Amino acid sequence: VVNNDGLHGMRTRRGHRHLAAGAKPKVRVEFYQGWGGKGLQVYWKGPGIPRQLLQHMAPTRIKIPINSNALPQHRLAGLLHPWTARFWNVDQAYKVKYVTQALEAIKSRLNQPNKEVDITSINYYRKSRWEGTFTTYFAAVFSGILDVPHSGMYYFWTRSDDGSRLM
């Protein structure tokens, strides 16, 4: 859905997909951090949901269409559970420039991450970091299940330095 891969400064890329109400699609974000600047943020927007971080059931005010007699209501929208975040250090002998290369470099260790944690949102930027993880040369995979409240077009963004992909 979103391809923001490669070695680059902080930049944003967007993708979209039509989703049906009640669907529970799996969401996967892959990330590679080289050296220098760093960051990864994941946003979403959909029918009645303003652009916001994609996180574990963030309370949001769902907008009701003008031609409806229903009153606006608060509804939880987002991931059914916190993100499962898995981290691996990446040996620089591989000369990694892309997420796909980072995952290839660690494929023999995919079931043995250096760190695995549950996190509410993917909001990693500049001096912040996930506690106990690396600051440079690492790969991360985030997995979650989205709760789709309404049928329609949903938009997803990754803002990253370096490479990221959202599927």
Please report the pLDDT score of residue 63 as a whole number. Answer: 52
Residues of the chain falling short of pLDDT 50? 59-61, 71-74
pLDDT at residue 107 in the model? 86
The token duo for 43 is 């946003």
- In DSSP terms, which residues pair with 123 in a beta bridge? 41
Cα 38 to chain centroid distance, Å, stands at 15
Per-residue confidence (pLDDT) for residue 71, from 0 to 100: 44
Beta bridge partners, 108, equal none
CB neighbour burial string for 24-46, b if at least 16 within 10 angstroms, e if fewer: eeebebbbbbbeeebbbbbbbbb
**pLDDT tens digits, one per residue of 14-34:** 999 999 999 999 999 999 988
pLDDT of res. 94: 65
